[in-house]
Structure 1
Amino acid sequence: MNGLRASRWRVLLLAGLVLGIGTAIALLPGHRGWFDVGVYHGAVNHWVRGHGQLYDYVRPGTEYGFTYPPFAAVCMLPMALLGWYPTIAVNLAVTVAATAFVLYVLIDPIARREGWSRWFSFALAGCLFAMLGPVRDTVSFGQINLVLMALVYLDLWLLERRHWLAGVGSGVAAAIKLTPAIFIGYLLVTRQWRAAAVASGTAAAATALTAVLAPGASRTYFTDALWDTGRVGVLDYVSNQSLLGMVARLNPAHPDRLLWVALVGVVAAVWVRRARRVAWLGDHRAGFALTGVAACLISPITWVHHLVWLAPALVVLADAAPPLDSGDPQARRRLWASIGAYVLLASSLVWLWSGDDRGVVPYVGGNSYVLLALGMLLFLPVGDGRPAHQDDTVDEPVTSRGEIKSGESL
């Protein structure tokens, strides 16, 4: 009877959350009108049906065209068979499926380890995930961020099971868009040699196959479009929450590229050090989360909707917070840090400074997501000794005397 009552309360709670979050999403400003999927759909049709050049396409009334490698366009070729509204519907369906897989990989092991109701944990996580600003923007733009994340986190799932195909997801993602290639870097710096070879081989094979099928588009991309940052957008626009965006907002007319390179070098060094440490501890979940954070910082352009890559770090941070009654002095700090980070990402705060405001407060506020990512990179708690899942297949790290290492935090 108590179990039935608890289930009823869970259903009521979820119904209230779905109603409240659905209403908030419907009423909040920032609906993007499927802009990016419109670019994909228009570019593919221009390329296939109009017999034009892929990278010559510009969406009518805008300055934006196709910016991804040609392999991405090959993957999107089915759009040429679909009308506008069916394309939106398919994009939504694929995004929902990708999101479900990512949440399964991130949340289900925690629910099983803690003995929580798995369906309730998954549904609650889905509600909270949907409220994040980058997630709302990804869906509203019709972007592919969550699909790329699903491909990368397929590798985490395979890596934890020592599957020989680990790496194939990151390879495909890197061939579709260059930013996920940093996850191949993670496999290399943490000495996951087989997975790194699979990822590199997959990316190279996909790119080479595209060069055979579409030599003109491949040549144009790698000799011209890849280097034309003006195709992507304005560097100092507040939506660009990368290190280069932060530097560009100091002097929009002449961004200090040397300062940016120096900051990228520091971030890369910190990421490599921490990634190697967490991999040695067997904590690839924290390693993948750190890598997503580093990708957002290092990429020259990180629009707000790209910040979905920070979501796994939120999960790691929340999971590292012990119960408040545990007596752990870090419990309250970690709990409030995870709540604060979530609220910040859900708030879309940076848009308050989307004009040409100058001054310390507008600058800090307009770079709040960059600062959040830097904080995650430096202070994300990792290696707390918790197994990835109950039937954990990852080797437990040991000291030179064979003792289990646990409770370590960098």
Structure 2
Amino acid sequence: MRAPATERGRLLLVLAAGTAVTVFTATVPLLRDWFDLRVYHGAVDTWIHHGGRLYDYRVPGTTYGFTYPPFAAVAMLPMALLDLRAAIAVGLLLNLAALAVVVRLLTGRAWRRHGWYGCALGACALALFEPLRDTFSFGQVNLLLLALVLVDAWLLATGRERWAGAGVGLAAAVKLTPALFIGLLLLARRGRAAAVATVVALTATGFAALVAPDASRFYWTDAMWDTARVGRLDYVSNQSLQGVLARLGETDRAVWAVAVLLTLGVWAVRARRAVAAGDWAAAFALTGLTACLVSPITWVHHLVWLLPSFAVLVRAGFFFF
């Protein structure tokens, strides 16, 4: 399919796409009622205001509670000052800001080449990207973590390496999956950045242990190893390798371990090639994709980590406007 050659044709296509996206988002019931943000808010509120244990909280009527490392709860402590509606509003604003940062870092100045037409179609594509919609409607934090990690990618790509790694370290302290980016820094022989990331992650984790020693002890010795707290491995929304194996009826952990090792091997080879070519965008895209595959549970909203992959494909000419 060729792009319209005239300005009028482009305008008509954008209007048609915008209308289709609006109708789709207005009629397809995909809103998640900020469920995950309700978990964050309820857990922090119970912990701070009612003396409850952080990891004992459950959303009323469900079995779901707080599943992130303790530093995530410490970072979310300002929620204790807000009611749920205010927390939702702040969460939406933070996700919008994070999305703006992510898009800016992924596109650079390339968006100018496509002009208003390409930007409009890109916005429509983002609106249809289910992981992004889920991130907003669940009230998830993945966009914020992606923004932190991509800031590090930008620092490395532009030679501003003094603070590179801090974003990865903070992201890894909030959720474990981004820790794979420390592995990327080691593969790329960016020892300073890897050290910064590791020190930041450990410092944040240590600070959380001082603030919440009981919660930290429980998380690192019990909750982290209990995948049932997060959800069923075989649920269709789990897009990780382990989710695929679980749906196939394969429960042997050794099979999953082999699949993970093979995936990590392919990632290591391809990521090193990308770094050797100076293509940090591709290296970070590969790492985000791999992290989603090797994590025991990767819900659909976690797949915002694929956004860098799409940016690489657009740059390579696989999509055009």
Q: Which TM-score band (shorter chain)?
A: over 0.9
Alignment of 1:242-321 (within 5 A): 242-251=240-249, 255-321=251-317
Cα shift at 1:19 = 4.1
Segments of 4+ moved more than 3 angstroms = 8-20, 119-124
- Computed over aligned residues only, the root mean square deviation of the Cα atoms, in angstroms, reads 2.0
Residue 202 (structure 1) aligns with: 200
Alignment of 1:384-395 (within 5 A): none
Structure 2: gaps of 5 or more residues:
1-5
> Given residue 218 of structure 2, which amino acid in structure 1 is its aligned partner?
T
The answer to whether residue 98 in structure 2 is matched with residue 101 in structure 1 is: no
Count of residues in correspondence between the two structures: 315
Whether 1:227 and 2:242 are equivalent positions in the alignment is no
Correspondence for 2:3: none
For 2:110 and 2:278, the matched residues in 1 are separated by: 16
Aligned pair 1:140/2:118, yes or no? no
Structure 2 CA distance for partners of 1:58 and 1:20, relative to 1, 3 Å: same
Alpha-carbon distance in structure 2 between the residues aligned to 1:175 and 1:298: 18
- CA distance in 1 between partners of 2:259 and 2:103 (Å): 32
Deviation at 1:171, TM superposition (A): 0.6
Q: How far apart, in 2, do the equivalents of 1:79 and 1:262 lie?
A: 41
Give the secondary structure class of the aligned counterpart of 1:166. Answer: coil
Superposed CA deviations along residues 301-334 of structure 1, whole A, max 9, x for unmatched, are: 001111111121122122212xxxxxxxxxxxx4
| Counterpart-to-counterpart distance in 2, 1:79 and 1:246 | 36
Q: For residue 125 of structure 2, what is the aligned residue in structure 1? A: 128
Q: Which residue of 1 aligns with 2:148?
A: 151
Superposed displacement of residue 247, structure 1: 0.8
Q: Distance in 2 between matches of 1:214 and 1:36?
A: 21
User: For residues 109 and 40 of structure 1, what CA distance do their matches in structure 2 show?
Assistant: 36
TM-aligned CA distance change 1:215 to 1:23, over 3 Å: same
Distance 1:207 1:122, change over 3 A: farther
Q: Aligned-pair distance for 1:278?
A: 0.7
Whole-angstrom distance in 2 between the partners of 1:121 and 1:191: 37
Residue of structure 2 equivalent to 1:84: 84
Deviation at 1:11, TM superposition (A): 6.9
Relative distance call for 1:10 and 1:150 in structure 2 (3 A) is farther
Higher relative contact order structure (alpha carbons within 8 Å, sequence separation ≥ 6):
2
Tell me which amino acid in the other structure corresponds to 1:33: D
**Distance (whole Å) between structure 2 residues aligned to residue 168 and residue 124 of structure 1:** 33
Structure 1 stretches lacking a partner, 5+ long: 322-333, 340-410
Per-residue deviation, residues 369-408 of structure 1 (Å, max 9, x unmatched):
xxxxxxxxxxxxxxxxxxxxxxxxxxxxxxxxxxxxxxxx
Partner in structure 1 of residue 37 of structure 2 = 37
Q: Deviations over 1:107-134 (max 9, x none)?
A: 133335xx343x6544542331121011
Cα distance in 2 between the residues matched to 1:245 and 1:81: 37
Deviation track 1:213-241 (CA, whole Å, cap 9, x = no partner) reads 11111111111111111100000011111
- TM-score, normalised by the number of residues in structure 1: 0.73
Distance 2:169 2:238 in 1: 25
Distance 1:107 1:90, change over 3 A: same
Matches of 2:12 and 2:209, distance apart in 1: 53
Residue deviations 1:123-158, cap 9 Å, x none?
542331121011111111111111111111111111
Aligned ranges for residues 184-203 of structure 1 at < 5 Å? 184-203=182-201
Verify the 8 A CA contact 1:46 1:52 in the aligned structure 2: yes
Which protein has the larger Cα radius of gyration, Structure 1 or Structure 2?
1
Matches of 1:172 and 1:120 in 2, distance apart? 36
Q: Which residue of 1 aligns with 2:164?
A: 166
Distance 1:161 1:300, change over 3 A: same
